[in-house]
Amino acid sequence: MLSSGRDLFKLIRPHQWVKNAFVLAGILFGHEWKDPDKLLLALAAAAAFSLISSCVYILNDIQDIEQDRQHPKKKDRPLARGAISVPMAALLAAALFSMGLALALFVSKIAAALMGLYFVMNIAYSMGLKHIVILDVFIIAMGFMLRILVGTVGIDIEPSEWLLFCGLMVTLFLGFTKRRAEMYVREGGGASRAVLDHYTPLHLDIMIGVTVSCVIMSYTLYTMNERTILIHQTENLIYTVPFVIYGLFRYVHLLHSGGGGEDTAKDLVRDPHILVTGILWVLVTFWVLEPLAL
């Protein structure tokens, strides 16, 4: 029974919930964390997205069960090794989706609609869109962008153009690094997804270089934007830029030398450099935006 509980816990992948921090971007960069109602809705939205994303992960594992059994790492997933039956996994997915949708409706109808779009988009991805080169990465990026939209328009916060553009570049960067990491697995003799046949290492490295450059430029310009300065009443957000640059460069280093990039959530918490940089970025950002908050 204890083993089964651990397998069910692994099946929903709670470590992936760190990705839902994107939902909280609107609260931070919209300077709305002092509003308790907005903060409650943002936290509820993040929780709802966590439940629905776990449902999606389970459905993906059901869809890819045979392929996962050939993968050097994914073969140890509960479904791939037979620790959890497909009917039990499907029942858990249905329960997670129902709870997530109910919580999303508590947030707002717009938030529920955006999460519904996320669910449908991921089903379409699993059913065939993941095999279309470039589009596959854009769909991964759109999943993150929907998180940002849920945490902004979903709780009645207007997203800035800079936040949306920088968010898009970050998510495309993560998508292309994921494909590059999978390319390394394939080069090592492991099983791989079919879409990698349409990518080359050079192709992916160029895309990664373009997107990481756009992230740095867009975030830097955002910190100096007149509207940003007006909203936050400070010009000092520019001092958070070095943390962003270091974190991005460290992530690229892990990709090419440490086997990182395939699982973003694990990379963010396992690598001490990225973890400490992320914590310092949050602390410095709060200190800049609200000096008395720390």
Average pLDDT over residues 67-92: 79
- The tally of CA atoms less than 13 A away on the side-chain side of residue 181 is 21
Q: How far is residue 68's CA from residue 160's CA, in Å, rounded to a whole number?
A: 40
Evaluate whether 169 touches 200 at the Cβ level (below 8 Å): no
pLDDT higher at 194 or 121: 121
DSSP code for 261: S
Both tokens assigned to 285:
């950002």
**pLDDT score of 3:** 47
Both tokens assigned to 245:
């640059």
User: Nearest 5°: CA angle at 258, between 8 and 147?
Assistant: 50
pLDDT band at 117 (very low <50, low <70, confident <90, very high): very high
Question: How far does CA 126 lie from the centroid of its chain?
Answer: 17
**pLDDT score of 208:** 95
Which residue carries 């690229």 as its tokens? 252
DSSP code for 188: T
Collapsed DSSP state (helix, strand, coil) of residue 190: coil
Question: How far does CA 247 lie from the centroid of its chain?
Answer: 15
pLDDT tens for 13-42 read 888 888 888 898 888 887 788 889 999 999
139, 204, 257, 274 alpha-carbon torsion, rounded to 10°: -40
**Long-range Cβ contacts of 2-7 (<8 Å, 24+ apart):** 3/83, 4/83, 4/84, 7/78, 7/83, 7/84
The pTM (predicted TM-score) of the whole model is 0.84
Superfamily for domain range 1-158: UbiA prenyltransferase (1.10.357.140)
Q: For all residues of the chain together, what is the average pLDDT?
A: 87
pLDDT tens for 94-104 read 999 999 999 99
pLDDT tens for 271-290 read 899 999 999 998 999 888 87
Both tokens assigned to 198:
């349409």
User: What b/e readout covers 10-19, taking b as 16+ CB neighbours within 10 angstroms?
Assistant: bbbbeebbeb
Q: Which of 291, 155, 165, 170 is nearest to 232 (CA)?
A: 291
- Please give the share of the chain, as a percent, with pLDDT higher than 90: 46
pLDDT tens for 34-71 read 889 999 999 999 999 999 999 999 988 888 777 777 76
Least confident piece of the model among 134-138, 157-161, 242-246? 157-161
